[in-house]
Structure 1
Amino acid sequence: MVLPHEPEFEQALAELTLSLQPFLKANPQYQKALTIVQVPERIIQFRVVWEDDQGRPQVNRGFRVQYNSALGPYKGGLRLHPTVNLSILKFLGFEQTFKNALTGLSMGGGKGGSDFDPKGKSDAEIRRFCVGFMTELSKHIGQDTDVPAGDIGTGGREIGFMFGAYKKLRNEFTGILTGKGLLWGGSKIRPEATGYGVIYYVEHMIAKACPEYSLTKPTTLVAISGSGNVAQYTALKVIELGATVVSLSDSRGSLIATTDKGFSKEVVDKIAGLKLKGGSLESYKDFASETEYAYHAGQRPWKLLPKIHIALPGATQNEVSGDEAEALIAAGTRIVAEGSNMGCTAEAVEIFEKSRKEGKGKGIWYAPGKASNCGGVAVSGLEMAQNSQRLHWTQEEVDAKLKGIMTECYKTCLDVGSKWSGEDLPEGALPSLLFGANVAGFIKVADAMKEQGDWW
């Protein structure tokens, strides 16, 4: 068997193509738009040379995939992680294009980053890398062209170093990056936005599919993977609302709550501090009781828990396999919503979608990341708007706008999924949010492209 050259990108493209089949059958002229939209407008690859603390030169690869600008300036994060390659960034930029469309804001899609690993590096080494990276990237971005943000490995520290380098190189103070510090152009609740947005979206799903598992009830069990920014704020919002968080994880293993209390806010806050220092959940005994938590090395949470009502993958792509999807069904899971991008494998999604069709009260209702985790980029868009107007909105104002965006995104996915899933559903069965998100995002981008002469 010949392996795909770009497996992550080809997986994302195959998912979109499959979702579009009922729509394309009724509107065959849009096939040309699908052919064209899957090709990035521009791919930039460059060398980043930086000096380590021993004075030795080091080199990494830098990328920016400027995927689609039909709806606005390219918008998407910068990922710093040793696994970064062109396939992953193309898949992320492709997904970002339709995710941004679902926010209703004027943003195109893009993604970038480097195979640089910030873990184990000193602040000085990270600063020197960021300066080298931005020295090249600054030639290709601008507030009306391309506005990058943070992503895995790129937090407030890295954004600050990159912004400072851009300001010196270009001699201008503009909203060239989002995720900035509050003192110099950042937005309230930007760090929280992806995690909070997932929960605002899921609340609508619960109200329609399984109100008995309201997030205001301590008896509702929520499994979360990851322990970075997205997972932390997803967990904190669940705890704030009153439901029980039963898991978090990282690349080395999973931390499972072993009592009915679940994770506490204090433990999540300590995990946040641990992750900021590059630590692992393996050291949980330093901040949590062995009688209340158990660590499972080398395992993800999905097979470790006998009962899960809501599952929220929040780590990275393809973190829920087909076997794990079956385990979630066996555990009584009713909703899976991605906090990560393409968090579920194609096999897992197929299992969830088959399960959904069984009818009300059974199976899993699945929300793809391009819909359920669009809150992060939505608040990035709000940060751009504040920067353009030299305004600074309150936390309450930003949170209200975020809730409104997630509500409209959910309604769009539900309505379009009901119309274009191409399914004969049994009484009470739920429409496909996957089809709804993909078709709605595609139509919006394709129509803008047509009006601009990109296809005809």
Structure 2
Amino acid sequence: MNVSAHIEAVYADVCRRNAGEREFHQAVGEVLHTLAPALERHPEYLDTRIAERMCEPERQVIFRVPWVDDQGGVRVNRGFRVEFSSALGPYKGGLRFHPSVDLGIVKFLGFEQIFKNALTGLAIGGGKGGSDFDPKGRSDGEVMRFCQSFMTELHRHLGEHTDVPAGDIGVGGREIGYLFGQYKRITNRFEAGVLTGKGVAWGGSHARTEATGYGAVYFAAEMLATRGQDFEGRRAVVSGSGNVAVYAIEKVRALGGSVVACSDSGGYVVDEAGIDLELLKEIKEVRRARLSAYAEAKPSARYSERGSVFDVPCDVALPCATQNELDGQDAGTLVKNGVLAVAEGANMPCTPEAIEVFREADVLFGPGKAANAGGVATSALEMQQNASRELWTFERTEARLAQVMRDVHTHCRATAAAYGGTPDDYVLGANVTGFLRVAEAMTAQGVV
């Protein structure tokens, strides 16, 4: 069987059967088009149609979420949970509450999660979920009523050995608390391992809040080290100003670098003195205000609604906001300004055109399924603590996180070199490593 022709046929079939789901097509294409070396070396995976099976979710759930706003009006949203792969463990992946959420978005995220989770080396499968509900501007009471309605339907599909959601965009500690409370109320069980990202006082893990941002910076540091460099004295820009961005900024600063710009959906702020993390947290986490408030409070800062945060010269770029936020033009600007490394803190934030620009310019590029694996890895560590009724210290948990990210980096480089690429081809390394781990398990478990 011609491997390239087989891959193109699989991709064409995925696009045909999932019409209109552009982000899902993009995620599948990005993986499939790197798998030829693996499939040539393992023809048994062609015979058993592993790639086709991996592209088809094991289960897709779509449901109505009715809730009542503060004025007594009835609202209706749509909920999703796509349980993609349980070959390595229970489905694991976050819930996203954002107006852009639809089935295609959830499937792209769930597909990415298969490989990301496999890369951690921990026993977790891939899944994702969410709703087109927008928590911005909603009162705590409205968010609570929505979460309770959402969990009333979703609970029947969850369990610590079945499917374990966490947070994502729009789902933080507040939302996880409301979701967990409703699950507990309906099931009459304190099943701590059914959700991760919980408060430390009731089954959560130290360092889970920080894990995705910290992990992306650890991965970037490992990439820089391969060229004899580090973060000391380096300028960085971070897109976004949510959880991942905030803790990426914190870890860059801890490693001796300076983050001079970050963004939100309205624009971006530049602070040559270095982003004031405490002020940023107050504005985004306490006041839930727009980033423009940062510039109003800080004389050294300027805010812009024009252009891109990636227009700001930097040594390291950390896109931590959302999918396809960094395009080919942005990548060209970063390269012209001398960027050394780009690590994706968000899921698929760089377009294929941007990745090609980085590749041609020999810029170190860490794809999200590798670079932002720290969040789900620490979720798995939270599950481990829940199973043993333990609470590890922050230091112990962060040390485990750092080791996981080092291991992910090492495996990506080794696999890339072993399958015909250069060690710096982290896209090839991440995709093939994740694919082989899942394919081995799927083969052992039969055609299921």
TM-score normalised by length of structure 1: 0.91
- Counterpart CA distance in 1 for 2:284 and 2:256 is 20
User: 1:288 aligned to 2:288?
Assistant: no
CA separation in 1, counterparts of 2:375 and 2:388? Answer: 20
- Write the mapping of 1:344-355 to structure 2, written as runs, cut at 5 A: 344-355=350-361
- Tell whether 2:293 aligns with 1:278: no
| SS across alignment from 1:209 | coil
Aligned partners of 1:197 and 1:231: how far apart in 2? 11
Partner of 1:297: 305
Matches within 5 A, 1:198-347: 198-211=216-229, 214-215=230-231, 217-218=232-233, 220-257=234-271, 259=272, 261-273=273-285, 276-289=286-299, 292-303=300-311, 305=312, 307-347=313-353
* Separation in 2, partners of 1:117, 1:228: 15
Letter in 2 for 1:315: A
Task: Give 2:130's aligned residue.
Answer: 113
* 2:426 maps to 1:433: yes
Could you list the per-position Cα deviations for residues 326-351 of structure 1 after superposition, in whole angstroms to 9, with x for gaps in the alignment? 11110101101000000100111122
Q: Distance in 1 between matches of 2:77 and 2:446?
A: 37
Partner of 2:396: 397
Q: How does 1:87-102 map to 2 (within 5 A)?
A: 87-102=104-119
Distance 2:158 2:123 in 1: 16
Q: 1:269 to 1:53 in 2, by over 3 A?
A: closer
Q: CA deviation at 1:202?
A: 1.2
Number of the residue aligned with 1:168:
185
In structure 1, what is the Cα distance between the partners aligned to 2:295 and 2:369?
A: 36
What is the CA–CA distance in structure 1 between the aligned matches of 2:248 and 2:382, rounded to whole Å?
Answer: 20
SS at the partner of 2:82?
A: strand
Deviation at 1:392, TM superposition (A): 0.5
- The answer (yes or no) to whether the contact 2:413–2:426 under 8 Å persists in 1 is yes
Quick one: which amino acid aligns to residue 38 of structure 2? F
CA offsets 1:382-401 (integer angstroms, 9 cap, x no match)? 00010011111111110111
**TM value normalised by structure 2:** 0.93
1:222–1:246 contact (8 Å) kept in structure 2: yes
The one-letter amino acid paired with 1:262 is G
Q: CA deviation at 1:60?
A: 0.2
- The alpha-carbon deviation at position 418 of structure 1 amounts to 1.2
Structure 2: how far apart are the matches of 1:160 and 1:300?
Answer: 35
CA contact (8 A) 1:70 1:449 kept: yes
Instruction: Report how far residue 308 of structure 1 moved.
Output: 1.3
What corresponds to 2:414 in structure 1? 415
Give the Cα–Cα distance (whole angstroms) in 1 for the partners of residues 171 and 101 of structure 2: 13
CA offset at residue 286 of structure 1? 4.0
CA–CA distance in structure 2, aligned partners of residues 200 and 370 of structure 1: 14
Deviation for aligned residue 1:267? 3.1
Query: What is the CA–CA distance in structure 2 between the aligned matches of 1:285 and 1:63, rounded to whole Å?
Result: 37
Q: What 5-or-longer segments of structure 1 have no aligned partner?
A: 357-363
- Are the aligned partners of 2:284 and 2:290 in contact in 1 as well (CA < 8 Å)? no
Percent of paired sites with the same residue? 49
Q: CA deviation at 1:21?
A: 1.8
- Measured in 2, the distance between the counterparts of 1:110 and 1:171 equals 25
Deviation at 1:199, TM superposition (A): 1.2
Counterpart-to-counterpart distance in 2, 1:351 and 1:230: 25
User: What CA distance in whole angstroms lies between the structure 1 residues aligned with 2:281 and 2:82?
Assistant: 34
Other-structure match for 1:85: 102
Query: Equivalent residue for 2:66?
Result: 49
Measured after TM superposition, the shift of residue 30 of structure 1 is 2.2
Contact kept? 1:78, 1:148, Cα under 8 Å? yes
Please tell me whether the aligned partners of residues 239 and 265 of structure 1 are also in contact (alpha carbons under 8 angstroms): no
Range with greater deviation from structure 2 (201-210 or 7-16)? 201-210
Alignment-derived partner of residue 6 in structure 1:
21
| Matched AA of 2:194 | I
Mean alpha-carbon deviation: is it higher for 63-72 or for 263-272? 263-272
Higher mean alpha-carbon deviation, 262-271 vs 324-333, is at 262-271
CA displacement, residues 363-392 of structure 1 (integer Å, 9 cap, x when unaligned): x01010000000000000000010011111
**1:258-311: per-residue Cα shift (whole Å, max 9, x none)?**
x3x3223333333443xx54321122244322xx111110432112x2x31111
RMSD: 1.5
C-alpha change, 1:27 and 1:355, in structure 2 (3 Å) is farther
Decide which moves more: 240-249 or 34-43. Answer: 240-249
Counterpart contact for 2:279–2:294, Cα < 8 Å: no
Contact 1:252 1:299 in 2 (8 A): no
1:355-366 matches, within 5 Å, as 355-356=361-362, 364-366=363-365
Cα deviations by residue, 1:92-151 (Å, 9 ceiling, x for unpaired): 000001100001110000000000000111111110000000000001111110000000
SS of structure 2 residue aligned to 1:15: helix
Partner of 1:65: 82
Query: Are residues 1:184 and 2:202 paired?
Result: yes
Question: For residues 372 and 78 of structure 1, what CA distance do their matches in structure 2 show?
Answer: 19
1:210–1:334 contact (8 Å) kept in structure 2: no
